[in-house]
Amino acid sequence: MNLQKTLEEQIKAAIASSYDAQLETVEFQATRKDFEGDITVVVFPILRVVKGNPVVIGEVIGNYLVENVVEVVKFNVVKGFLNLVLSDAYYLQFFNSVSDFSDFGKKEESGDAVMVEYSSPNSNKPLHLGHVRNVLLGYSVAEILKASGKKVYKTQIINDRGIHICKSMLAWKRFGNGETPISSGLKGDKLVGNYYVKFDQEYKKQIQILISEGKTVDEAKAEAPLLLEAQQMLVNWEAGDDETVALWKKMNGWVYEGFDKTYENIGVDFDKLYYESETYLLGKEFVDEGLSSGVFIKKDDGSVWCDLTDEGLDEKIVLRSDGTAVYMTQDIGTAIQRVKDFPDVKGMIYTVANEQEYHFQVLFLILKKLGFDWAQHLYHLSYGMVDLPSGKMKSREGTVVDADDLIDDMVETAKKISEELGKIDDFSEEEKETLYHTIGLGALKYYILKVDPKKRILFNPEESVDFQGNTGPFIQYTYARIQSILRRASATQKVPAADYQLHPKEKEVLKTLQEFPDVIELAAQNYSPALIANYTYELVKEFNSFYQNVSILAADNDLEKNFRIQLAKAVSDVIKSTFLLLGIKVPKRM
């Protein structure tokens, strides 16, 4: 039985014996830093059962716990809050009970699987800063869910068809002169992205010409020859035209190679890839089933809709009057196909920007109406946009921040700051480059993941690489500092609980370490890497306060030295674990 459960039972017993009353629940919270104590009982809710002064009631409970719970050694009452002080032995027993802190907090895989979708880019341009937040969130949530005991499949659907793809294809065909990634020296996704921008530039020129000839803006946009040709190219692709399909395969192949390099560079992976070109017709068969079951209705023009007005939404089209599918149809079919491909999947998480919240409300509701049990366990991991000090990004105009360029800039910034600090002179050039990449990428990932997913981010590269404050490099530096201590330390053994009196700073570190399993569970329940990131920062702050207030290697006696070395190692193991959940590496030296 864990301590909180014991305390709850004993508090109920205290109320029963002292007031002849039955208490159903007990509310606990962490003790505020400015009061002595390790866990706090909130007395105010007890007043619903026991009438009286909350301070007096708190003192009655506190005295009862000191007498009946060995772990509680003293208490204090502040207004309606009972602050309990736990014994050193309790924390030492916890510490000694963990054989390996590198696996601490992680659960064995059990239960049904969950699928996490992230990235899902368009194959007409490279990944950009917005994709970076998506990829980092999705990957980290997948790793956190694994740590909480879930089996996880990581997936994406690549949007490789549609008019936007044809715009890049047409621009390359018109203006490319046979340029390839090899001949240009560009990654394939960047090369194709350049032609997407080129299309927009030439399209705007044609619009202006048509306007000068007397067309309205809307007429000019609709009648520009380049757009009409791109629309015809899409028709040809859907009809299976050999030349169009061959060009599509060639240019998409360039893009996929580029994506793979970016994913490798940023340190994420996938278990299964889906392609819109293979899934866009999926779902049509379920439209017929929905019609026969009354989930969908067919209108006079032959289009098929789902009426969601009773649920506070509107009507949603699932099939056009000409029988063609819409995005909703495709997403319905893709979700069902994924469960067919992975029968143990009982839930899915879609990492998609908050602009699509309504779409996923509708999708999840339709799947429930179609009778799929797993539809009860679908979640939209909605996240805010990422802005830069220079403003909003636009793909068509070529003003996006390319993911590869961003990573290179972060590594360069890390290099500049590391060289200024001057602590790596004895590193080889290869070691230096590895360190710059570790720090730069760690700074980027931590800066983005420490923010609640729902919040919009203003990304400041310089601020993210600061070696002070709530940043990735600050935490990485603490890890490296501990490794330096451990390299100079001799082998140690765990300290017996009865033989050691904790320094207050040691106790604070142990309290924070003890929280880690609950933080993993909470982060998994909330799909929030920010909880892991900010827990790590709190742990590092507690360790640094401990480090500044007590001596480790020059401790007064071997007992103290042994314990403090073990404690430092445990902290470093947990830092490494938390950063792995965020997809971040930690350097042994900085």
Amino acid at 423: K
Asked whether the predicted pLDDT for residue 398 surpasses 50, the reply is no
pLDDT band at 395 (very low <50, low <70, confident <90, very high): very low
% of residues, the chain, pLDDT over 90: 84
Query: Helices 558-581 and 472-488: crossing angle, nearest 10°?
Result: 140
Tell me how many degrees the CA angle 82-86-91 measures, rounded to the nearest 5: 145
The mean pLDDT value for 266-290 works out to 92
Range with the poorest average pLDDT among 120-129, 370-379, 412-421: 412-421
Task: State the burial class of residue 277 (Cβ atoms within 10 Å of its Cβ: 0-12, 13-18, 19+).
Answer: buried
Asked whether the predicted pLDDT for residue 390 surpasses 80, the reply is no
- Where do the domains of the chain lie? 3-86, 162-264, 403-581
Query: Helices 129-147 and 516-526: crossing angle, nearest 10°?
Result: 120
% of residues, the chain, pLDDT over 70: 97
- Residues 168, 199 contacting (CB under 8 angstroms): yes
pLDDT per position as a tens digit, 146-184: 999 999 999 999 999 999 999 999 999 999 999 999 999
Three-state secondary-structure class, residue 55: helix
In this structure, the number of other CB atoms found within 10 A of the CB of residue 382 comes to 17
Pick the CATH number of 3-86 from 3.90.226.10, 3.40.640.10, 3.30.1360.70, 1.10.357.10: 3.30.1360.70
Domains 3-86 and 403-581 share a fold: no
In this structure, the number of other CB atoms found within 10 A of the CB of residue 95 comes to 23
Asked whether the predicted pLDDT for residue 397 surpasses 60, the reply is no
Three-state secondary-structure class, residue 443: helix
C-alpha to C-alpha distances, 25 to 61, 113, 583, nearest whole angstrom: 14, 33, 39
The single-letter DSSP state of residue 45 is G
The mean pLDDT value for 50-74 works out to 96
Asked whether the predicted pLDDT for residue 266 surpasses 90, the reply is yes
pLDDT per position as a tens digit, 488-509: 997 667 776 667 899 999 999 9
| pLDDT at site 426 | 86
The mean pLDDT value for 87-113 works out to 92
The DSSP secondary structure of 115-152, one letter per residue, reads EEE----BTTS--BHHHHHHHHHHHHHHHHHHHTT-EE
- How many residues make up the chain in this entry? 590
For 402, phi and psi rounded to 5 degrees?
-60, 135
CA proximity to 511, closest of 84, 102, 42: 84
- Residues 304, 319 contacting (CB under 8 angstroms): yes
The mean pLDDT value for 35-44 works out to 96
pLDDT band at 565 (very low <50, low <70, confident <90, very high): very high
* Beta-sheet strand order (sheet of 378-383): 272-275, 151-158, 113-117, 345-353, 378-383
Which CATH superfamily hosts domain 403-581? Answer: Isoleucyl-tRNA Synthetase; Domain 1 (1.10.730.10)
- Residues 403, 268 contacting (CB under 8 angstroms): no
- Residues 461, 410 contacting (CB under 8 angstroms): yes
pLDDT per position as a tens digit, 317-369: 999 998 888 889 999 999 999 999 999 999 999 999 999 999 999 999 999 99
Place of tokens 């299309």: 199
Q: Which residues contact 238 (CB under 8 A, 6 or more apart)?
A: none
List, in sequence order, every residue forming a beta bridge with 76; answer none if it has no partner.
Answer: 83
How far is Cα 74 from Cα 62, in angstroms, rounded to an integer?
Answer: 8
Q: CA Rg, the chain, in Å? A: 30
Asked whether the predicted pLDDT for residue 35 surpasses 90, the reply is yes
Task: State the burial class of residue 134 (Cβ atoms within 10 Å of its Cβ: 0-12, 13-18, 19+).
Answer: buried
| pLDDT at site 65 | 98
| pLDDT at site 46 | 96
How far is Cα 473 from Cα 89, in angstroms, rounded to an integer?
Answer: 35
Euclidean distance between the first and the last CA atom of the chain, given in angstroms as a whole number:
43
Range with the poorest average pLDDT among 201-210, 381-390, 517-526: 381-390
Task: State the burial class of residue 21 (Cβ atoms within 10 Å of its Cβ: 0-12, 13-18, 19+).
Answer: middle
Three-state secondary-structure class, residue 426: coil
* Beta-sheet strand order (sheet of 297-298): 297-298, 304-307, 315-319
DSSP β-ladder status, 386-387 and 457-458: parallel
How far is Cα 31 from Cα 29, in angstroms, rounded to an integer?
Answer: 6
Asked whether the predicted pLDDT for residue 394 surpasses 50, the reply is no
Three-state secondary-structure class, residue 31: coil
pLDDT band at 453 (very low <50, low <70, confident <90, very high): very high
**Cα atoms in the 13 Å half-sphere on the side-chain side of 279:** 21
The mean pLDDT value for 58-76 works out to 97
For the record, the structure tokens of 237 come out as 């692709």
For the record, the structure tokens of 131 come out as 């994709």
pLDDT band at 301 (very low <50, low <70, confident <90, very high): very high
Mean pLDDT computed over every residue of the chain: 93
How far is Cα 181 from Cα 193, in angstroms, rounded to an integer?
Answer: 12
- Residues 343, 353 contacting (CB under 8 angstroms): no
Q: Please give the model's pTM, rounded to 2 decimal places.
A: 0.92
The single-letter DSSP state of residue 40 is E
